[in-house]
A and B are shown apart, each in its own frame.
Chain A
Amino acid sequence: MMDREVIISAIKEVAAPYTQDKEALDQLSETTSFITDLKINSANLVDIVLDLEEKFGIEIDNDSMAKMLDVKSTLDVIEAKLAEIDRQ
């Protein structure tokens, strides 16, 4: 299983180009919200989901995407999808 810190830094890297508050990005933690903290446009959340799918080789279904508004939930979704792949 991939280390949580590794996944968090990957999320940070993926979110960076869409982030309008670079200071909030520097202080990114599990509680960081994409929209309220990083000021990411909601139409760009799809890009983050697609970029994470590519980066991790996972497929994010719509129910999972519904939760991906902050770093913690995104981390949980990625971990669950990676675990699914491990089991296969």
Chain B
Amino acid sequence: MSNQHSTSLKPNLLKLIGNDLVDLRLAAIESNWRRKGYLNKICTPEEQKLVLEAAMPDEMLWLIWTMKEAACKIVQRSTGIRKYEPLNFCCTLNTQGIEISGMVSYFKDSFLIRSELQSTFIHSVAVSDIKDFDQLHLQYLKPGIAYKAEFNTITELYQLAGTPSGIPELTHQITGQKHAVSVSHHGDYLAVIYSDSLLLTD
């Protein structure tokens, strides 16, 4: 493994949040994770064990996948570099009913995860500091071109827009400050997470 990623991420990593959502019905149609070689390319041996020994292997796999993707969004937005390296994001889990918490490590960095497992979808949120969860808001919306307008109607204080490169941007209507935000969409579900406290500009 090369050393180029081993340096710590930029300081703005601390101000970022990431989320990822999987529509379980669509995932069952789109992906055959049981095909030969698939698990080996995305899951560490420990994660493979979790999946293969789980009472609900599909849910476990997509839970792990959303954890990796949520953490990956923080890393990619921090470095500005896109890479496809699911094996470098290593997951550990604590499960209590439908409330799931976990951790994802990426070289020297680690991220805390909270996930929601429903019968039809799985949604994971990644932060750098456990305190960040306190001022985090989650809004589920109907996917489609109007979701930003819908979000802006619901949360009057914030304006959600997208940069030309497709990265979401959240502006506080009174202070003009940019707040940490992440959007994930898959199939019938769309989730926006944003923070009252994490500001992208000082």
**Chain A interface (Cβ within 8 Å of chain B)?**
18, 36, 41-47, 49-50, 53, 62-63, 65-69
Asked whether, in the complex, the Cβ of B1 is within 8 Å of the Cβ of A43, the reply is: no
- Known A-B contacts A63-B1, A63-B2, A66-B84; the reply to A43 vs B31 at CB < 8 A is yes
Q: Is B87 an interface residue when CB atoms closer than 8 A count as contact?
A: yes
Option from B35, B69, B87, B88 in Cβ contact (under 8 Å) with A42: B69
User: In the complex, which residue of chain B has the Cβ closest to the Cβ of A65?
Assistant: B84
- Known A-B contacts A50-B38, A62-B41, A63-B1; the reply to A69 vs B30 at CB < 8 A is no
A49 to B86, CA, bound (A): 13
Asked whether, in the complex, the Cβ of B83 is within 8 Å of the Cβ of A62, the reply is: no
Interface string of B147-172 (1 = CB under 8 A from A): 00000000000000000001000000
Task: Give the contacts of B2-45 with A (CB-CB under 8 A).
Answer: 2, 22, 27, 30-33, 35-38, 41-42
Question: Interface centre among B31, B32, B41, B85, by most A CB within 10 Å?
Answer: B41
Asked whether, in the complex, the Cβ of B30 is within 8 Å of the Cβ of A44, the reply is: yes
CB B161 to nearest CB in A, in angstroms, measures 18
Residues of chain B with a CB closer than 8 A to A42's CB = 69, 84
Enumerate 9 A-B pairs (CB-CB under 8 Å) in ascending A order. A18-B30, A36-B166, A42-B69, A42-B84, A53-B37, A62-B85, A63-B2, A67-B83, A68-B84
Q: Is B77 an interface residue when CB atoms closer than 8 A count as contact?
A: no
A67 to B81, CA, bound (A): 10
A42 to B89, CA, bound (A): 15
A66 to B32, CA, bound (A): 21
Q: Is B111 an interface residue when CB atoms closer than 8 A count as contact?
A: no
Asked whether, in the complex, the Cβ of A65 is within 8 Å of the Cβ of B85, the reply is: yes
Asked whether, in the complex, the Cβ of A41 is within 8 Å of the Cβ of B30, the reply is: yes
Asked whether, in the complex, the Cβ of B30 is within 8 Å of the Cβ of A50, the reply is: no
Residues of chain A with a CB closer than 8 A to B33's CB = 43
Residues of chain B with a CB closer than 8 A to A50's CB = 35-38, 41
CB A50 to nearest CB in B, in angstroms, measures 5
Residues of chain A with a CB closer than 8 A to B37's CB = 50, 53
A57 to B186, CA, bound (A): 33
User: In the complex, which residue of chain A has the Cβ closest to the Cβ of B83?
Assistant: A66
A63 to B166, CA, bound (A): 26
Interface string of B127-163 (1 = CB under 8 A from A): 0000000000000000000000000000000000000
A32 to B86, CA, bound (A): 21
Residues of chain B with a CB closer than 8 A to A36's CB = 166
- Known A-B contacts A47-B38, A53-B37, A63-B1; the reply to A69 vs B83 at CB < 8 A is yes
Q: Is B65 an interface residue when CB atoms closer than 8 A count as contact?
A: yes
Given pairs A63-B2, A67-B83, 20 additional interface contacts (CB within 8 A) = A41-B31, A42-B69, A42-B84, A43-B22, A43-B27, A43-B42, A44-B30, A44-B31, A46-B41, A46-B42, A47-B31, A47-B35, A49-B41, A62-B41, A62-B87, A65-B41, A65-B84, A66-B84, A66-B88, A69-B83
